[in-house]
Chains A and B, each alone.
Chain A
Amino acid sequence: MALIGTTILYIFIFLSVYVQVFFFVTFLENRKKIIIRKGETKLAHYPKVTITVPCWNEEKTVYKTVRSLLDLNYPKDKLTIFLIDDGSTDNTFKVISRFSKYSNIKVFHKENGGKFTALNFGLENSETEFFGCLDADSFADRESLVRIMSYFEKDKEVMAVAPSVTVYNDNNFIQNAQRAEYYMGVYFKKMLDFLGAIDVTPGPLTIFRKKVFNDLGGYRHGHNTEDMEIAYRMQRNNYKIAHCNDAYVYTNTPGSIRKLYRQRVRWIFGFFNNTIDYNDVIFKKDYGNFSVFTLPTRIASVVAIGYLSLRILYNFGNFIYSKYIVYKIVGFSIHPKIVFDPFFINTQSLFFLFIITYFLVFFSMLFGRRMAEGKWALSAGMFYYFPVFSIVSPFWLAKAAYNTVLKRKPSWR
Chain B
Amino acid sequence: MNNNIDWKKYLIVLLITAGLFVTAIYLSNYFGNQKIKQLQNIQDQISIDVLSSETQFSLLSELSCKDISDSVFSDELSELGNKLQWSQDNLGNTTEVSYLQKYYSLLEIKDYLLTKQISTRCGVKAAFILYFYTTAQNCSLCQQESLVLSTLRTEYPDLRVYSFDYSTDLSAVTSMLQIYKIKDTALPALVIDDNVLTGFHSVDELDSLIQQSFKLQSTTNTTTTPTTTTKTK
Contacts and interface: CB of A to CB of B under 8 A. Distances in A.
Is chain B a partner of chain A in the same complex? yes
Contacts of B222: none
A352 B17 contact: no
Interface residues of B, number: 35
Interface stretch (B25-33, B43-51, B123-131): B25-33
Contact of A330 (B12, B25, B31, B147): B147
B43 to A, nearest CB: 14
A352 B13 contact: no
A143 to B, nearest CB: 26
Most central of A29, A286, A287, A347 by chain B CB within 10 Å: A347
B132 to A, nearest CB: 18
A17 B83 CA distance: 31
Nearest to B147: A329
B5 A288 contact: yes
A352 B24 CA distance: 5
B35 to A, nearest CB: 6
Contacts of A238: 1-3
A329 B3 contact: no
Interface size class of A (residues with CB under 8 A): 35 or more
Q: Main secondary structure on chain A at its contact with chain B?
A: helix
Interface stretch (B54-62, B109-117, B148-156, B210-218): B148-156
B21 A14 contact: yes
A343 interface: yes
B220 interface: no
Contacts of B25: 349
Interface string A339-364: 00001101111111100100000000
Given A17-B17, A325-B147, A349-B21, A335 B203 contact: no
A368 interface: no
A327 to B, nearest CB: 10
Nearest to B38: A343
Given A329-B147, A330-B151, A349 B13 contact: no
A270 interface: no
Contacts, number: 95
B227 interface: no
A285 B154 contact: no
Contact of B3 (A17, A286, A333): A286
A290 B35 CA distance: 46
A21 B1 contact: no
Given A329-B144, A330-B148, A333-B151, A157 B1 contact: yes
B233 interface: no
A285 B23 CA distance: 32
B13 to A, nearest CB: 5
A199 to B, nearest CB: 13
A329 B24 contact: no
Given A17-B21, A352-B27, A240 B148 contact: no
Contacts of B9: 22, 25-26, 29
Contacts of B209: none
A285 B3 contact: yes
Contacts of B5: 285, 288-289, 292
A195 to B, nearest CB: 8
Interface in A26-60: 26, 29
B196 interface: no
A392 interface: no
Interface string B122-146: 0000000000000000000001100
A29 B23 CA distance: 24
Interface of B: 1-5, 9-10, 12-14, 16-17, 20-21, 23-25, 27-28, 31-32, 35, 38, 83, 86, 90, 143-144, 147-148, 150-151, 154, 202-203
4 tightest Cβ-Cβ pairs between the two chains A and B = A196-B2, A347-B31, A288-B3, A352-B24
